[in-house]
Each structure stands twice: as C-alpha cells, then as structure tokens.
Chains A and B, each alone.
Chain A
Amino acid sequence: MGKTIAEINEKIKKGKAVVVTAEEIIGLVQIKGTKKAAQEVDVVTTGTFSPMCSSGAYFNIKQTIPRMKIGGGRAYFNNVPVYTGFAAADVLLGANALPDDDPRNAVYPGQFLYGGAHVLEALVGGKSIVYTAFAYGTDCYPLKKREESLALKDFNDAVLFNPRNGYQNYNVAVNLSDKIIYTYMGVLRPRAGNANYCSAGQLSPLLNDPLYRTIGIGTRLFLAGGVGYVCWPGTQHNPAVPRGKNKVPRGAAGTLGVIGDLKGMSSQWLRGASFTGYGTTLAVGLGVPIPILDEEMIAFTSVRDEDIWTKVVDYSHDYPQGTGKVLGEVNYGELKSGKIHFLNKDIPTGGLSSYLKAREVAETLKKWILKGKFYLTDPVAPLPSS
C-alpha cells in the first residue's frame, strides 16, 4: 500500500513521521528489506554542498529621494557589476561576475579572489556592501548618481535564483596533457596526476529520485539554510541519458532550477569560491526531502555510492574541444576511497562537492521535518523525464 504526501504531512504534523537521511536509509534497507522499510519510513532527506555552475540573485533597491531609474544605466556591488536591464530598481548579480579591473587570466592562472559569489556570501553573512549606480536621468527618475552602503536588510527584496542546481551526476575530470591545467573541475595535474569529481553521490537529491517521481516544479526544499522551491527544470536538464539497471544516470542528466529568499539564508551554506585560472562561483547547500510513497522510492533512495557510475573525461582536449570522448566509467565508492585504478595506474581523487557538508544539509532538513517546521509538497508539474 502506498502513501500520499498529504498523509506524510499529517504524520509530520502529529510528530509521528519517520525521517532518515539518504545515508541512513542504506543500512536500514539492508536490515529490514525494501518492503518493511517502505512501510516504516516516511521521508528520506538528501543534501549536497557544491559549487553551483549557475547562480545569482536579484534585488529590488529602495528608492532614494529624488528617485533614480537604474534600468539602462550601470551599477556595482563592491565594484562587481550587476545587470540593470530589468527596470527602475531591479538588478541581478551573477556569481561569476568580476570587477571591471580584475586582471582575469591576463596573469595566468588568474586568482579570481573576489566576484559576485563573494558579494552574495558577504551580504548573507550580515556585511554591508557599497552600492554604486550611474543612471541617465528621466523626468520621473531624475537622480543620476548614487553611492551608499547597503546591507541585506536594506533591500526591498533579495532572491537567490539558480537557473541550474543539483546536477544529477557529473563528469570525473582528468588531464591527459603534459602540463597542469586550471578548470572549473579544479586544478588538474598532467598525465592524469589526479581525478576530480563533483557529486554527493548517495546523498545527492536527484540521484535518490532518478526518474523525478517526487521532485518536480513546486517542490519545497532546503536552500542555503533557508527555504526554497524548484521553480522550473534546471537549464541543461537532460533526462535522456544512458542509465543503469537502478535507473540512475551514468553521467550528467537532470538539473533543478531553484529559487528562495536570500534574507532567510546563511553564509554557512552560501560560499564564494575562487577557481584558479577559471573564475568565481557560488557553493550552495541544497537539500530535497523525498517522500517514501512506495517500495520503489525506498529502492531508489537506498542507492549506494558503489551503484552510481559516472564518466571519466579528459579536460585538456576532449572537454574543451567537445569531442564527446569518454575514457571510461568509475563509481562513487571508488572515487571516495581516494584513488581510482584507471589508465593502468592508481590516480588519486579529489572532490569539489563536500560530502561532510552534504551530510549536514540532510541532517538539518531531517531535524526541520521532525520538529514540524518543514512540510512536503506535491509537485505542481513534473520535470521532463524523457
């Protein structure tokens, strides 16, 4: 007999819901089996903390006297340019944005010490930033120049928006060339000197709901210490990839577009990151609760690192040139062991996604649900599944 999300929410309300993390469920299913575990467990919480390739936030800025129309003008947060093309008082700050005077890769490899992602971390951490704006002036919005210090509380609205987040699986990167390379997958030493991966594996949200049965548009989730929602399929969402018998994609597949109130978030879960030679990006904590509707969902959520396979790709030639060549496959059990045996040698592995913090996200979400602070949602529309 299956359960509905409404029934699970009723149990949460009464303090009777059984909630475990995507790590805990593995052992539980081994002891009890899928049938019994499906009857007993109501929710499995997932988590990830990782650089999110596509992150930003939009802000509505309180008007001054006289008023100012920033649309079509130029504006900066701590010297980092923001996009002004929306309207009189809305701006968008992207995680990758850099100050105009940053040398980028002119001195290779660039350090990218400060960018949009760091501004977001500062704001969420309670710090003030300097807002500088230049407008052309209109009859109704005459002010042309503004410079002032603003904290998060000073904005009318501040909303985190990830066009793409929670990637369902991702490449393992190696460098087959003879020189060190600096990539969004980290620093890769020559001749496959290291292999970098970026997924929380068995804790990762979409790897626990591989066919998007419960996660859809409208799903409420943990977003950087606050509450957010899936607002759309993430950009590059691609469900039509080769999958294992367990339905888990064997490479990058689904993604989530997510949104949430920046004012409710914490800098513990929203961190600016500087990738040498590549740029700045934002690390975001994301956790999605998975309702255990039936035995199939228990089977999905009990997936282990050893059962999640992904592709190894050369980032010195094959990735930049888009050859599509795959060097082979490894699983997350091997990746997390510290080395993979590949190309006839042991290659040490490094992560970009923090498993420690992913576990903290899943634990935090579990606590919220057990305390009745967080309820599950029925998706209002599914994510594309084929």
Chain B
Amino acid sequence: MAKKKVILTFPPALIEEPVTYNLIKNYDCKINILKATVRPKEKGRLVIELNGSKEAVSRGLNYLKEIGIQVEPLAQEVRYLKDRCSHCTACIPHCPTDALSLDREEMKVSFHGERCIICEACLPVCAYKAMEIQF
C-alpha cells in the first residue's frame, strides 16, 4: 500500500476535468481532499492524500501528469524554521492534526510534517514567523 500527499495545480482549461472521480473510478485510489481552491476560469489548487496499492497510486499520479496537472509533493511546501521558533506554544491550540505538538515536560514545540494538512492555521498565529508555507 502507498500513501502520498500531493499538491495539484490545475491550468484553467482543466478546471472542469473530474479528476477525483477519475482517480477513484479508473485508478482505484482512495482520495482524501485536504484543501481545495478551485474557481472557474482560474488556476485551481487541490491538496489531496492518495491512498491505494503502490501501482494504483503510481498510475493515478501518471494520469494527472499526462493530462497536464502539475503535481508536487506536499512536504516541500511546509517549513518549520526551528531557529525562529520561541516555543511560546501559541500555535498549539490552532493546529488541528497535532502536526505542531508540545512536549509538556520540556514545554518544547516540535513539528511533524507528515501530519500537516496545510490548513495554514499556524501562519497568522506565529508571531516569530517560524512557519513558512510556500504556494
């Protein structure tokens, strides 16, 4: 089994392509939509988690690339700037998936990229700009 979080960027011409339907129906992938910005006639962005057999995920990703969707891994988009973090803990109640977590003994904040769904809730909350999300 394979699991991949990817960011899909759609050119305007492909906005109407039923991508998630096709991935499920034709490529046997489970799709979890983490974030979507799709407006008619504009560039669209979709953040999804693809789940399925290795082959299914790989074929699904190929399909996306072939029809002209830009596919980027999610991990590269989210950065925790350790040196800027003051461990104030202001982000902790805002992170819905515990990607930003707190060791309460040490009162030390750490970031676990694999749990991040780039909801961006941490961005306005961090006074030291220790979270960087590049879109």
Contact = CB atoms under 8 A, between A and B. Distances in A.
User: Real complex partners, A and B?
Assistant: yes
Interface of A: 49-51, 109, 111, 113, 182, 186-187, 189, 193-196, 271, 273-277, 281, 283, 336-338, 348-357, 359
A283 B86 contact: yes
Contacts of B108: 356
A204 to B, nearest CB: 14
B21 interface: no
Nearest to B87: A356
Nearest to A355: B107
Contact of A348 (B88, B92, B107, B125): B92
Contacts of A336: 104, 107
Contacts of B92: 338, 348-350
Contacts of B88: 50, 350-354
B129 interface: yes
Given A186-B125, A354-B87, A355-B87, 12 more contacts: A109-B124, A182-B124, A193-B93, A195-B93, A271-B86, A273-B127, A275-B127, A276-B125, A336-B104, A336-B107, A350-B91, A356-B108
A338 B124 CA distance: 20
Contact of A351 (B90, B124, B128, B129): B90
Interface residues of B, number: 19
A168 to B, nearest CB: 19
B107 A356 contact: yes
- Among B86, B87, B92: residue with most chain A CB under 10 A: B86
A284 B94 CA distance: 24
Contacts of B107: 336, 354-356, 359
B127 A189 contact: no
Nearest to A277: B124
29 contacts: A51-B127, A186-B90, A186-B127, A193-B93, A194-B93, A195-B93, A277-B124, A283-B86, A336-B107, A338-B92, A338-B102, A338-B104, A348-B92, A348-B93, A349-B93, A350-B90, A350-B92, A350-B94, A351-B89, A352-B90, A352-B127, A353-B88, A354-B86, A354-B87, A354-B88, A355-B87, A355-B89, A356-B108, A359-B107
Contacts of A349: 92-93
A187 B94 contact: yes
Nearest to A348: B93
B106 interface: yes
Contacts of A273: 127-128
Given A196-B90, A348-B92, A351-B89, A356 B125 contact: no
A352 B104 CA distance: 15
A274 B129 contact: yes
A101 to B, nearest CB: 20
Interface in B84-135: 86-94, 102, 104, 106-108, 124-125, 127-129
B122 to A, nearest CB: 10
B121 to A, nearest CB: 9
B77 to A, nearest CB: 19
A49 B90 contact: no
A276 B124 contact: yes
Contacts of A193: 93
Nearest to A121: B128
Contact of A350 (B89, B104, B128): B89
A357 B127 contact: no
Contacts of A274: 127-129
A187 B124 contact: yes
Given A336-B104, A336-B107, A355-B107, A113 B129 contact: yes
A351 B127 CA distance: 12
A47 B91 CA distance: 22
Nearest to B103: A356
Contacts of B129: 113, 274
A109 B125 CA distance: 11
A173 to B, nearest CB: 11
Given A348-B92, A351-B89, A356 B106 contact: yes
Contacts of A182: 124
B128 A337 contact: no
